[in-house]
Amino acid sequence: MDTGEPGTRASIHLHDDDRCHGRPLFSEIVHRAAEEGLTGATVLHGCEGYGASGALHTERLVSSWERTPAEVVLIDRPDRIAAFLDQLGPLIAGCPVVLSEVRILHGSRPAE
């Protein structure tokens, strides 16, 4: 079995309504990650959560003022993740970022 290569998983925690240049912040981060050629980026939308403020954010109550959590998950080599997070700088100020050491396995996809 392929033992993979060392990697870092960065999970950036934000809200689905956070904006950057008129579009969702999570979308801005994913597009920048693609431009930089990072190994992977995925956005996960949460249905409920809370952060430093302690305020509960949920989608169960239908309201225009409700904020729901979103998480951008990035994977690549540790040095590339660190450099990318540095580039994001002020865009993610105040957003908790969780870093995890991982092994990146590059599997092949079956032909369709």
Tell me the mean pLDDT in the region 29-36: 98
For the chain, the structural domain boundaries read: 5-104
Global pTM reads 0.83
The residue assigned the tokens 């080599």 is: 77
Q: pLDDT tens digit string along 57-78? A: 666 655 545 678 899 999 999 9
Which residues make Cβ contacts (< 8 Å) with residue 89, sequence separation at least 6? none
Is the CATH number 3.30.70.120 carried by domain 5-104? yes
Position 27 scores a pLDDT of: 96
Any idea which of 14-23, 46-55, 93-102 has the lowest mean pLDDT? 46-55
